[in-house]
Homo-oligomer: A and B are copies of this chain.
Amino acid sequence: MKNTARIPQTFLLTFLTLLLVGNTAISQTKEKDSTMLRNIYDMALLNGKAYDWLDYLSNEIGGRLSGSLNAQRAVEYTEAELKKLGLDKVWLQPVMVPKWTRGPQEQAYIETSPGITTQANICALGGSVPTPALGLKAEVIEVQGLDDLARYGKDQIEGKIVFYNRPMQADLINTFEAYGGCVDQRYAGAMEAAKYGAVGIVVRSMTLSNDDLPHTGSMSYGETPPDQRIPACAISTKDADYLSSALSLKPDLKFYFKQRCKTYDDVQSYNVIGEITGSTYPNRYMIVGGHLDSWDLGDGSHDDGAGCVQSMEVLRIFKEVNYKPKHSIRVVLFMNEENGLRGGRKYAEEAKLKNEQHVFALESDAGGFTPRGFSFDTDTENFEQIESWKPLFEPYLIHYFERGGSGADIGPLKDDKIVLAGLRPDSQRYFDHHHAASDTFDAVNKRELELGAATMASLVYLMDTYGTTSEVGEVKD
């Protein structure tokens, strides 16, 4: 109190007045935002469209492997649905994509003695070459990862099938970390094993579930010359355990598999894009997206039908609640995330060519489960602004705001200004379904899907309202 007395009364009054006015303005803004979020969640939960869209994508179309007829059907369906929303623009962005087909159901067995066989559940890895027409049979060497190859050397590997059997770590809370810790076996297993003269590889499926489903996924031969490429398949976790156990009793057992997969020339496909043009910054873009292609074993409901319909729902909600964004907001349904990322690359290329300033991109590609928050690829200043919005999300139990990855398709947009973000749903069940026949519509809960869409729309709304800290103050348009 003594110190205060030294400050001139007029100054103090002015200061206090400013403080009060400021506080009122802040609390009014906060109330406006809080009301807007409530409206967004209500729209998603009471009058949502995401679940119906997903029903169609999953049950009327099905798996949407790049270059397939189904992928094209999905392009046409989502374009038509976006056109119904009254957006300012809807268009297709052409992109050439790889075309790989699985062929007839793969076959495999474990032969412990001549003629004594046990069937195994396998599937070809995406991009694999086929086996010989009558299949491939060879002895097996089990390894725990790529590093083991050098340890065993050509002597022990040549002429054999390499069986990569390092499981996902069940003690990691974030299952994506567990996946990240194993997926090198699937991605690089064939190209590395070929260097040691292996004739094929079998990879333990990337899942924490103990079941009979093989999980496919992308692989690469890197610089391996075509004539040295060896076929690669995934085996279910139960059969991987069986194979490992059988090997310990019978190290000279043989594994047989047959797959007739085939790679064709690239074909024409499309990213599907819709836009609400910004009222204040029409030339600054914020995008929200998922990928329209999927693997072929299931119907791609979680990966990534969910992300597509949630992204479409963000723009639908904005139209329904009559929100007119300052920035141009685009939904982008990327083609070919799974085996090429061509759609993501194409979108970024064209954005650069056209000098479109992208300030924010949000992807949903981690399943349609209860949303927990977001991860961000951005600088400290932007992250601090985002963290200041946490209280607005609390009523919706959204609590996870971390720096880290964002999404594969939006990765190519990365520069020093754009804020990249990924929706982070609960991850516990994701790898039960990922790339397997169990990635189906019935595994998606309507409310969980809708909450994800609302959570995305809320973040886009806040980013649009306050801008990224990288753009604030700039006048570029």
Min CB gap A394→B, angstroms: 10
Q: Mark A140-177, 1 if CB is under 8 A from B, else 0.
A: 00000000000000000000000000000011010100
Residue of B nearest to A172 (CB): B45
Complex partner residue of A429 from B41, B397, B400, B445, CB under 8 angstroms: B445
A428–B448 CB distance below 8 A: yes
Q: Mark A442-456, 1 if CB is under 8 A from B, else 0.
A: 000111100100000
A171–B428 CB distance below 8 A: no
Interface size in chain A (residues, C-beta < 8 A): 26
Indicate whether A170 sits within 8 Å of B428 (C-beta atoms), given known contacts A372-B397, A400-B397.
no
Tell yes or no: A46 within 8 A of B by CB: yes
Q: A372 — which chain B residues lie within 8 A by C-beta?
A: 397
Q: A46 — which chain B residues lie within 8 A by C-beta?
A: 170-171
Residue of B nearest to A41 (CB): B171
Complex Cα distance, B448 from A361, in Å, reads 31
Q: A395 — which chain B residues lie within 8 A by C-beta?
A: 173
Complex partner residue of A428 from B41, B175, B445, CB under 8 angstroms: B445
Complex partner residue of A426 from B41, B173, B370, B432, CB under 8 angstroms: B370
Which of A170, A208, A209, A372 has the largest number of chain B CB atoms within 10 A? A170
Tell yes or no: A396 within 8 A of B by CB: yes
A428–B45 CB distance below 8 A: no
Tell yes or no: A399 within 8 A of B by CB: yes
Q: A252 — which chain B residues lie within 8 A by C-beta?
A: none
Tell yes or no: A79 within 8 A of B by CB: no
Tell yes or no: A241 within 8 A of B by CB: no
Tell yes or no: A42 within 8 A of B by CB: yes
Min CB gap A337→B, angstroms: 25
B448–A173 CB distance below 8 A: no
Q: Mark A392-431, 1 if CB is under 8 A from B, else 0.
A: 0001110110000000000000000000000000101100
Q: A175 — which chain B residues lie within 8 A by C-beta?
A: 447
Complex Cα distance, B175 from A372, in Å, reads 16
A41–B173 CB distance below 8 A: yes
Q: Mark A43-72, 1 if CB is under 8 A from B, else 0.
A: 001100000000000000000000000000
Q: A400 — which chain B residues lie within 8 A by C-beta?
A: 397, 399
Residue of B nearest to A42 (CB): B171
Complex Cα distance, B178 from A447, in Å, reads 13
Q: A41 — which chain B residues lie within 8 A by C-beta?
A: 171, 173
A397–B171 CB distance below 8 A: no
A399–B399 CB distance below 8 A: yes
Q: A429 — which chain B residues lie within 8 A by C-beta?
A: 445, 447-448
Q: A445 — which chain B residues lie within 8 A by C-beta?
A: 428-429, 432
Q: A426 — which chain B residues lie within 8 A by C-beta?
A: 370, 426
Residue of B nearest to A208 (CB): B447
Using a CB–CB distance below 8 Å, which chain A residues touch chain B? 41-42, 45-46, 170-171, 173, 175, 208-209, 370, 372, 395-397, 399-400, 426, 428-429, 432, 445-448, 451
Subset of 23 A-B contacts with CB under 8 Å: A41-B171, A41-B173, A42-B171, A45-B171, A46-B171, A170-B447, A173-B395, A173-B396, A173-B397, A209-B446, A370-B370, A370-B426, A370-B428, A372-B397, A397-B400, A399-B399, A399-B400, A426-B426, A428-B447, A428-B448, A428-B451, A429-B445, A429-B448
Give 10 closest A-B pairs by Cβ, nearest first: A399-B399, A428-B447, A45-B170, A42-B171, A45-B171, A428-B448, A370-B426, A429-B445, A370-B428, A46-B171
